[in-house]
Structure 1
Amino acid sequence: MATILLIEDDEAVRVTFEIILASDGHDVVVAEDGNAGLKIAGSQRFDLVITDIIMPERDGVEVINALRKAQADLPVIAVSGGGRSSSMDYLGIAKMLGAAAVLAKPIGSTELLAAVKEALPTS
């Protein structure tokens, strides 16, 4: 299947997503924040990145911007549970920046896997 970079600061969400994705046959590499995620993204090739938007250090919008500059064709799925304002504000910005999909938390396994399938390039 695909090699996916999962960037998520909430440990419970990160572990849950990792289990769902791995159970679907994907290789998953995890990062606990945007800085760590970008460092990992620069060191190996991924088929897809899933990033949270609201994170300490470097948020998901910054991650998407950096990924677009480095690998314009790398599909990204943005997820958010909100923050200081509506999660849809952040997700709308992520979509404008080129995210293949945006998902508002809570996210079920069916919804996550459908977004992954849709975002992955067909080969």
Structure 2
Amino acid sequence: MGPRRAQQIMAPCIAATLGNAAVADRDSLVAHLERLAAGDDVQYELRRRQRFAATYARLREERLRQPQVLIAAPSSVERLRLADLPDGVAVTSGRITITFSDPTEALEKLLALAMAIGNDRDQFEALAAS
């Protein structure tokens, strides 16, 4: 809490001012703070913060379970669809087949397949399940 908020909370208890300083009766201030702490606004804020913390924890856990993998993809495969997969890549019921002649070609075809699935998820599920 900042000084401004503290001044706002303390304002009803100010008994006197000395220059720029405010003087509050201790007992009056304690009673005021206890009333604030027991009020609905505080309870609402506590519940709101608890809900936020729970939601944040759940989202963080989901993010950690399924981290997003970022790779640089050539523009030629960014918008690739399953119908446009390169030769040597086939998706059929329960099977994905990739033929290649060297490791670089294998990686290129795997990337093309991954991008196509990401761009055409429903079609992939239909092909793989049929």
TM-score under structure 1 length normalisation: 0.20
Bigger radius of gyration: 2
Is the strand fraction higher in 1 or 2?
Answer: 1
TM-score under structure 2 length normalisation: 0.19
Instruction: Say which structure, 1 or 2, has more relative contact order (CA 8 Å, 6+ apart).
Output: 1
